[in-house]
Amino acid sequence: MVHVVGLLGANGLVGGATAKLLLQSAAAGKIELVLLYRSSNPPKGVEGHSHVELREIDIEGPMTDIEKAVRGINVFISAVGFGALPHEPNLVEALSKSPDLVTYVPSVYATTRSKANEADPALGPFLKFVHAGWDRAIEKDIGITAVYTGVFDVYFFSYGFVGCVLGQNVVWANEKQMRNRVAITTIDHLAWYLNELATSDPQTIKNTEHSVVTFWPTGQEVADLYTHINGKPAEIKDFTEKDREDFRADVAKFGAAKVWYWDHWAANSWEYEVQGRHYDRSYSGPGIEEVARRFAKSG
């Protein structure tokens, strides 16, 4: 029997890419798809697709309305934007009351967290904010399918989330980071993998953890790539302890979250491949240079 997949956030960065693939899977009869949306932001590009239902939802609204909106969904994928994360516990509360739900994919596509991270006075409040829905799901004992990622391609190459802006030909890294690998995930890879999960038997992905990392360049390899694409030597800025502390103190720009990744990079302490966590090795998308060139003029 075909199961029902719900996606919330179909117009966003992750949700938009994922929705395109889920629509194809629904058209092929692999799933029944429900796209949930706010009244002010209906999904785009769904006209003419089969096996697709549109449902309006307000996760800040009355609980009875949220419960009605999520009814019948077996696999719920959340891809809400940052501003909606504080309200995700309301969604989870409704999901916990649905007899149809098998598993929930939280809208936290990021690196792994630890107890030490959660206790960190600078990073802890940020983690509590973004994991609000996930943590409520743990409290409610509902099925969770966790998906961990590296830095998104657009954040790495274009926005300089960890100081490496391709368009500016700059790599901000210390000696250890130049030697160590940094985790980068393309949006296309994540969307592809979410579709793979969505079209699997829901029971087989319930309470499982997954890692989706597309590229693993060292800092030196990033610098070499930037040099090659820009046609001149990349500027390498030393990421100092003072830089680290300045970032951690910058709450407005989520500096502690950036340092979270920088620290993993410096210590080579990524935990994507620990025992019991499925690490994807089956994706065969474009190489790192082809992906990076998409952002060459955006710095």
Model confidence pLDDT, tens digit, residues 151-198? 999 999 999 999 999 999 999 999 999 999 999 999 999 999 999 999
Tell me, what's the pLDDT at 47? 77
Q: For residue 74, give the 3-state DSSP assignment.
A: coil
**Whole-number Å distance between alpha carbons of 144 and 142:** 6
Rounded to two decimals, the pTM is: 0.96
Spell out the residues 6+ positions from residue 40 whose beta carbon is closer than 8 angstroms to its own: none
Model confidence pLDDT, tens digit, residues 240-296? 999 999 999 999 999 999 999 999 999 999 999 999 999 999 999 999 999 999 999
**Whole-number Å distance between alpha carbons of 282 and 17:** 18
Model confidence pLDDT, tens digit, residues 11-29? 999 999 999 999 999 999 9
**Tally of CB atoms within 10 A around 169:** 19
Please enumerate, as own/partner, the contacts of 37-42 that have beta carbons within 8 Å and a separation of 24 or more: 37/8, 37/10, 37/11, 41/11
Domain 4-293 has CATH 3.40.50.720: yes
Task: Give the DSSP H/E element, type plus range, for residue 262.
Answer: helix 255-267
Sign of CA dihedral 176, 180, 186, 187: negative
Domain limits, the chain: 4-293
Q: Quote the crossing angle between the two packed helices 132-140 and 88-96, to the nearest 10°.
A: 20
Q: Which residue type sits at 37?
A: Y
**Tally of CB atoms within 10 A around 247:** 21
- Report yes or no: 42 and 109 within 8 Å, Cβ to Cβ: no
